[in-house]
Amino acid sequence: MELLSVNEDGQMLAKTFYGMEEVLAEELRKLGAKEVKRLNRAVSFVGDLGFLYKANFCLRTALSISVPLFDFRFYNEDKYYKKVKSFDWTTLIDIDQTFIVDVVADEASFSNTHFAALLTKDAIVDCFREKTGKRPNVGKENPDIKIFVYVKEKEAIVYLDSSGSPLFKRGYKTEAFKAPINEVMAAGLIKLSGWHGRGNLLDPMCGSGTILCEAAMLSCNIPAGINRKEYGFMNWNNFDKELWETIRDAAIDRIQEMPCKIFGFDIDSDAIRQAKQNLANLHLEDKVEVIEMDFLESDANDESYFIICNPPYNKRIVADIESLYGEIGNTLKNYYQGSSAWFISPETSVLKNIGLKPDKKIDLFQGKIPCKFVGYSMYAGSKKRKHN
Ligand SMILES: C[S@@+](CC[C@H](N)C(=O)[O-])C[C@H]1O[C@@H](n2cnc3c(N)ncnc32)[C@H](O)[C@@H]1O
């Protein structure tokens, strides 16, 4: 099934966070994408219309999936406007649909990306006016059609976004505690850590449970978009409902029983309530155990765990972040021997207070904030807490 008449070779682009490109490329290969290529914060690949639906529904580490429409070189703003206007936008947007334009450009091409977006919008509207005498409206909230333009060194690639709202909006997180981690980031951390959905997983400071939800979905093979009702491609005039339903149902048929145990702790009762609600939204409340508990007073009790966690990182929330990270390290060394642990934090210097030798350090960005994702192994021993 052809992707779009203007995109005969089936090229697509999946965007992701910096540092997640390889895990996204791997996900795409496993899902059946062709010609997978790693780029900066994105991966390009080839597929057909059915694959576009599958990628949107199943990928855990993609933020959006777009289809390139056309590309061109330009020397000045006037040339840019004319090139955008010369595309027949009436074939993509219906007059009663709303649209929005987002532009990412380097300084050499446009000093003001907001202006570049307005210029693109004007060119689309003027194309409509010339061809039909009417124009579609811009929709800032929930637009039907999203256009994305990437500009570098006076070369522009114009894309049609097939996802609509970003794919981290999975639809299960109705509750969000202080500083929740992004769903795509959580899924990417799980994949980067090397946990493949087998073996006990623990998030000992789980907040609203994002890492728990993503880990449980991965281990049960639940598609990332299981709770999501809308995608941008549903507003396209080539939307094939029957094909979409076939793709969706086939992915749902591959859901399996959880082959491992997943646990969460948090010291805050509100966080526990929210994590339980988010898990319930995925019908996973009976599969994942969430316990109100101070991690610093916990003990693995001879079990070994795979720990993935984003501990509190903001000095405004936790006054003594240095000593908290030190205590996390002591708890791991003394009571989680035989386990391994991964922590993400923008407090890169404070992470050293954990006091364990890292096996691996990975540089990431959460939006514009640089972070480190650090893995540790605690070797087996016999120390246990003395309980009264
Ligand atoms: C950055 S938030 C985690 C956010 C979470 N990943 C989410 O997506 O919602 C850090 C969490 O650590 C919890 N916390 C702080 N100290 C703790 C401790 N000693 N034991 C367990 N949880 C703790 C806080 O209550 C907070 O929910």
pLDDT in tens, 127-151: 999 999 999 999 988 999 999 999 9
Domain CATH for 272: 3.40.50.150
pLDDT in tens, 61-72: 999 999 999 999
Measured between alpha carbons, how far is 290 from 266 in angstroms, rounded to an integer? Answer: 8
3-state helix, strand, coil in the chain (%, to 5): 35, 25, 45
Q: 131, 161, 191 — which closes off a domain?
A: 161
Residues 212 and 340 in one domain: yes
Q: What is the pLDDT of residue 317?
A: 66
pLDDT in tens, 156-171: 999 999 999 999 999 9
Q: If we measure between CA atoms, which residue out of 272, 269, 260, 274 comes closest to residue 221?
A: 260
Instruction: Characterize the bridge pairing of strands 201-203 and 155-161.
Output: unpaired
- What are the angstrom distances between the C-alpha of 163 and each of 129, 236, 284, 359, 375? 27, 11, 25, 37, 33
Residues 202 and 254 in one domain: yes
User: pLDDT over 70 for what percent of the chain?
Assistant: 96
- Ligand 1 atom 26: residue of nearest CA: 207
Residue 314 pLDDT level (bands cut at 50, 70, 90):
confident
* Residue 176 counted as domain residue: no
Range of the domain at 16: 11-161
Q: 113, 128, 161 — which closes off a domain?
A: 161
Q: Is the pLDDT of residue 315 over 70?
A: no
* Residue 368 counted as domain residue: yes
Residues 194 and 80 in one domain: no
* Residue 89 counted as domain residue: yes
Distance 210 CA to ligand 1 centre (A): 11
Residues 41 and 151 in one domain: yes
Question: What is the token pair recorded at 131?
Answer: 């061809």
Q: Is the CB of 266 under 6 A from ligand 1?
A: yes
Measured between alpha carbons, how far is 197 from 184 in angstroms, rounded to an integer? Answer: 16
Q: Is the CB of 264 under 6 A from ligand 1?
A: no
Q: Is the CB of 26 under 6 A from ligand 1?
A: no
Question: What is the token pair recorded at 66?
Answer: 């777009």
- Ligand 1 atom 3: residue of nearest CA: 207
In 3-state terms, what secondary structure has residue 215?
helix
* Residue 388 counted as domain residue: no
Contacts with 107 (C-beta within 8 Å, 6 or more apart), sequence order? none
Q: Is the pLDDT of residue 175 over 80?
A: no
Distance 338 CA to ligand 1 centre (A): 23
* Residue 360 counted as domain residue: yes
Residue 179 pLDDT level (bands cut at 50, 70, 90):
confident
Residues 155 and 204 in one domain: no
Residue 55 sits at the vertex; the CA angle it makes with 51 and 56, to the nearest 5 degrees, is 120
Residues 132 and 50 in one domain: yes
Distance 266 CA to ligand 1 centre (A): 6
pTM of the model: 0.94
Residues 157 and 193 in one domain: no
* Residue 4 counted as domain residue: no
* Residue 5 counted as domain residue: no
Query: How many domains in the chain?
Result: 2
Pocket probe for ligand 1: among 173, 174, 177, the residue whose CB has the most ligand atoms within 8 Å is 177
Residues 122 and 266 in one domain: no
Distance 206 CA to ligand 1 centre (A): 5
Residues 199 and 148 in one domain: no
Q: Which helix (H) or strand (E) segment is 26 a member of?
A: helix 21-31
Residues 125 and 202 in one domain: no
Q: Is the pLDDT of residue 89 over 70?
A: yes
Burial class (CB in 10 A: 0-12, 13-18, 19+), 380: exposed
- What are the angstrom distances between the C-alpha of 226 and each of 58, 265, 336? 8, 25, 34
Residues 191 and 127 in one domain: no
- Ligand 1 atom 16: residue of nearest CA: 267
Domain CATH for 71: 3.30.2130.30
* Residue 141 counted as domain residue: yes
Question: What is the token pair recorded at 151?
Answer: 């500009």
pLDDT in tens, 2-18: 677 767 789 999 999 99
